[in-house]
Each structure stands twice: as structure tokens, then as C-alpha cells.
Chains A and B, each alone.
Chain A
Amino acid sequence: MSMLEIRNLSKSFGSLEVLKDISFDVKKGEVVAVIGPSGSGKSTLLRCINQLEHADSGVIKVCGTDMLIKNGSGKTVYADKKTLRDIRLKTGLVFQNFNLFPHMTVKRNITEAPVCVLKKDKTEASKKADELLKKMGLETKGDSYPCELSGGQQQRVSIARALALNPEVLFFDEPTSALDPELTGEILKVIKELAKEGMTMVIVTHEMAFARDVADKVIFMEGGYIVEAGAPEQLFGENASDRVKQFLQRFNS
């Protein structure tokens, strides 16, 4: 089953086209890594899927629900407000800068959305938060404030916060770019664990070795286009296009 279907997605900022004719699918349980040089449109792609940017044209289907469609007269339109919100709750997003709520404890960061948005019972949400914190190796940090944690710990909290809503697809927007190499490792470990559990994920990343190890599919973007997409063996192998090889060479040297 397709968790994400994208067809001919385009997006411009003024006269600058940042996404051109993007099409790809993500199946249930699949881990997709999106790689490519800075400014290639990777983050914008993720932000369009997560409704943080307004796409200009194309089709987006999330978990079988139409989010962006062409209507009868060929115009590109978004689904109604309620559908868009339902879609948001089925997807989770982890940011590069964590974006934790600084005035709330770690635990409150995790329980706030389940309690306020999903109207879950407080004790139930709290129990779930404890489980997630344990899973992230942060069982002692529930009462801390985000500013008291390291970057890697903060990012693990933000992953727990996204997981608390039981999303069907989890998106990561360069989750390790704000972290030093040591802390990067702990985040990548968490994502690997989630992959093992069968979580469907789309990860924008500059960690090439990680993309090769974890991803079922790798998408290479440049200049707003998908230049090449396929299994990691293909993109990281001898038969990849010259552009992809050239890009990867810089990481290997």
C-alpha cells in the first residue's frame, strides 16, 4: 500500500522554481532517503508534503487520502480544512532545529499534542510519553526543560514528540545537521531502530553512509528535479549517473 503518492509536484518562490515535476511513491514500511546538494529543493519538498509550504501544482496523496488534487476544471486545489488536519495527524515531522517548546518540560512537550489535539486522557498520554522517553534513552529527563539537554537529546525528544501522535509516516528534515558528529550517531541509531520496527520514513539527509545503510530507496535531487531515484545499491554503485557519482565523491574523499 502506498503511504505517499506524489505526481508532478511543482513549487515556485516568485520566479524561482524550487520543485519541478516531482513524482515518487513511498510504500508502507519503506525508508526513503532524499539526498542532494544544498538548495536542490529537498527541504521544500518535505515542507510541501507537511503543509508548511503551498505547492503550486501536482498531486499529493497521503495514506490514501487526497491532499492536493486537480479538480474538474484542471485547477490544482487542496483538500478541505478538516481533511488537511486529519492528514497532519497521520504524519509526523522532525525539524533540523528541533523546535521544541522551550517553556514546557520534556514530558509536556510530548503529551501536549495528544491531550490538546487528540483529546486523549492525561494519564494515558503520560504513560505513553514515559514509554517513548524510555525508548529514546531519556527516561530520567521527563521533568527537564529542553534548554537543559544536549542537542542530541533535544532531537530525540522531538522524535518522541512526533511519535506520540502515532503517525503513519514520519518525515525528517535534516535531523542531524545541527549536531556534531558524536551526537549525530545517537540520532541515526534511533532512526535505524524505527526502521527495524517497520516505521515508514522519509529522511532528508546529508549523511550518505546512513542513507546507504538504512534506506530502501534513495532519491537524488538537484535544481528542483529528481535526477535519479532507486535502490541504494544502484545510486551508490557503479551504474549511477555521472552527476550522482560526482556528488558522492565529495563525501567519500
Chain B
Amino acid sequence: MQYKMQTKNLNLHYGNKQALYNISLDVPTNKVVALIGPSGCGKSTFLKTLNRMNDLVENVHIDGDIFLDGSDIYAPDTDIVHLRKRVGMVFQRPNPFPMSIYENIAYGPRIHGISNKKQLDEIVEKSLRNAALWDEVKDRLNDSAMGMSGGQQQRLCIARVLAVEPEVILMDEPCSALDPISTMKIEELVTVLKEKYTIVMVTHNMQQAARVSDYTAFFLNGKLIEHDITDVIFTNPSNKETEDYISGRFG
């Protein structure tokens, strides 16, 4: 098994408060890993350590190791902009830029130095196609992204991540603000995207974790309680707390 990302004995403190305890988790290449657990269990915090989004929070202290393709992403010489290109992120609420659909997608590649119009056109089309959005928006690429539906906006955000050709996509409850049909579209998309990308997804929707992920990790009070193949977690978890949580006994 090849691992795209690995964490080893990861501890994270916000000031004096410890939020993550000794997390060691492997993320296999081209698989979907779902992170589940009740609110405040540390799953989103953990997700954000994978592309160093927590660097933006004051008073954060992290120890332990996080590897991307075997290289420590917290090494002093890490180029954070390049890291976040390789490890992209989709947030809970769709957050398109207040500009056209086209410009939303072209923005990232431009920052990374692509200015050729033809090349940008190709990237925009390819990204929108890969995010299963092209057919819905190809005739209105110059319309504002703010006029799209929530589900379309979220797929636009996924297309925006795809435009900079990442290797890993982090998703923080990507469907929690979406209607059921849009949710299903995103889930369909995730199963297609994993052929090319490695995906780590935080979700509060247990059935979503069961449907789309290959591996599931259960967090509770900042600790990784259990992680295993999703089929095992949802049929016969070894830990009682995992069983109680996934069967809705608490949370």
C-alpha cells in the first residue's frame, strides 16, 4: 500500500489547550479517507494540519510529523504556497470569489504563472468538466459565480482546486450546506476524483462516510479512536465508542 500522506504522533495545542493527541494516521494514495466524530473532536483541526492551514491561527503549537510523499511538510524549507497547491482544500460553505465563473477557475493558475489565454481556456474547461459542472455553465462562463446555486458554487470551488492540479484534496464537510441532490452530485464526483487524487473528507453525515470513503477514521476528544476500512467500521467496528457513535447513540 502506498501512502500519500502520513502523520506520526501528531499533537496540537491551541495555547494551553490540547486539541489533538498523538494522531498517527496513514492516508493511502488514490483513496478517500473520511474523518468522523462529534463536534469539537478535532477532525477539522486535524484536516487543517495536512496543508498547514493552522499556521494562520495564533498560538498554535504542533509537534509530531506530517509527511507528504515521505517529506515532512513542517520542515523549515517548505514552500507553503506550493504545499497548498499540492494539497488543496474545499470548505464547508461554498466560497466563490465575487467574480465570473471563468475568473474563479483561472485565478489559481494565473497566480502560479500561467498567462496564456488559450492555456487558461483549456484549464477552465478541463477543471469544470472534472468537477461535473461544464455542461451547466459552459454558456455563461462570464456570468458572476455569485448567481449560481449552492451546489454549483461548491462544485465551482472543487473545480478551482482542480485547476492548480493538486495531488491531495481536503474537504471540510463539503455538503453540509447543500440540498440532497447537490450532495449526491458531490458524492458522485468524489468517487470519480479519487482515480486521480487522494481525498481526505471531514463529514458529519455518517451515511456519506459509508457511501463514499474507502477508509474511515473516528475521532473523539482529540484522539483517534479507531481507523479501518470503511466496510469494517460500518459493519463491525472494534471499539465500543465507535459503534455507539456511528449508530447514533451519542454525538
Q: Do the two chains belong together in a single complex?
A: no
